[in-house]
Amino acid sequence: MFNMANDLIKQKTNNSLSTIKTPSKKIQFRTSKFKINIRKITLEESSDFDEKFAWVCASLGFFEKIDKQKNAAKIFKEIFLASSIGQVLTSTTISQKVKMSRGSTINHLNNLVNSGLIEKGGKYYFTRQKTMKGIINEIENDATHIFSRMKKIAEEIDKETNKVIIM
């Protein structure tokens, strides 16, 4: 949790430093170790299923240096394949399928849940939609909502800018 009320924000205005009042509300930032980073990646025309799946994962920023074995993508693929036929998986089943320890698997699962790519219901994991297109649409909707909120706040900031400058 980030408490802006405890921070002094200084801004240089007309060659002098003035203190800007900080909000009294606490602002919560949702943090996760795993983020979706949209990347522009080239895909060969003659790609097979695995290459296309890897391309989607790479486009979503899965292949980080820390995940040398591409375990997050392997786990996501297992959950996607199961979900596409209406099945759900437990962490134990997933760890057996990808041949990883259950602890490491759970760490990746938590990151995937936090990023919004998969969901957890009880002890079961599944994708947000049964199709890859549906999953991508969900991610796009999430981003659209975030940008809509940012635009609304940006408009408020623009309207209030003159008031702040005059202070």
The pLDDT tens digits of the residues spanning 148-159 come to 999 999 999 999
CB distance 97 to 108 below 8 Å: no
Strand segments, DSSP code E, in 6-163 are: 9-13, 16-20, 89-90, 118-121, 124-127
CB distance 74 to 99 below 8 Å: no
Q: How far apart are CA 47 and CA 142, in angstroms?
A: 28
Return the pLDDT at 8.
28
Count, residues in the chain: 167
Residue-level pLDDT, tens digit, the chain, 167 residues: 333 333 323 333 333 334 444 555 555 555 544 567 888 888 888 779 988 988 898 888 876 666 667 888 899 999 999 999 999 999 999 999 999 999 999 999 998 898 888 999 999 999 999 999 999 999 899 889 989 999 999 999 999 987 777 76
Residue of 52, 67, 60 whose CA lies nearest to 105: 67
Return the pLDDT at 17.
38
CB distance 97 to 76 below 8 Å: no
CATH architecture of 33-167: Orthogonal Bundle (1.10)
φ/ψ of residue 13, rounded to 5? -130, 130
> Does the model's pTM come out above 0.85?
no
Residue of 149, 144, 73, 166 whose CA lies nearest to 111: 73
Return the pLDDT at 121.
95
Return the pLDDT at 29.
53
Task: Name residue, tokens 């074995």.
Answer: 69
CB distance 139 to 61 below 8 Å: no
Boundaries of every domain in the chain? 33-167
List 156's β-bridge partners, or say none.
none
CB distance 113 to 126 below 8 Å: no
